[in-house]
């Protein structure tokens, strides 16, 4: 950890974040950056394979949670998991979803 006269230079030191869609693209990059800045990150996605790959990529301070954010029961389980493991939640990044580009044909 980087220290400057006894103070942490990590901007998210001790924070807890949930990032949906954290297994690829912007969500994965955000999760990696949050961990690099000192946070513990819970990444949420539907596919276990993607979660496993993301955890291997991030390496530390990351907990995978397999869930579908369109289902209320799954969201409740995500929160209970965070509460049980870390006791609180500081940041939520909602990055899950699919998009399509419109084209003029």
Q: For domain 3-94, give its CATH number from 3.40.50.720, 3.30.70.270, 3.30.70.260, 3.30.365.10.
A: 3.40.50.720
pLDDT tens, position by position, 19-59 = 999 999 999 999 999 999 999 999 999 999 999 999 999 99
Which residue(s) pair with 19 in the sheet? 43, 93
Confidence of residue 1 (pLDDT cuts 50, 70, 90): very low
Q: How far is CA 82 from CA 1, 4, 43, 98, in A?
A: 24, 30, 11, 25
**In the predicted structure, residue 6 carries a pLDDT above the cut 90:** no
* The model's pTM: 0.84
In 3-state terms, what secondary structure has residue 33?
helix
Domain boundaries, the chain: 3-94
Query: Which residues does 68 contact at the CB level (< 8 Å), separation at least 6?
Result: 46, 74
């Amino acid at each position: 950890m980087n220290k400057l006269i006894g103070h942490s230079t990590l901007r998210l030191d001790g924070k807890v974040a949930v990032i949906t869609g954290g297994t690829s693209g912007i969500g994965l990059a955000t999760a990696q950056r949050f961990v690099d800045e000192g946070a513990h990150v819970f990444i949420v996605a539907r596919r276990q394979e993607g979660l496993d790959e993301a955890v291997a990529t991030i390496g530390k301070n990351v907990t995978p949670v397999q869930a579908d954010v369109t289902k209320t029961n799954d969201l409740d389980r995500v929160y209970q998991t965070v509460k049980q493991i870390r006791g609180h939640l500081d940041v939520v990044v909602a990055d899950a979803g699919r998009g399509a580009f419109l084209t003029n044909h």
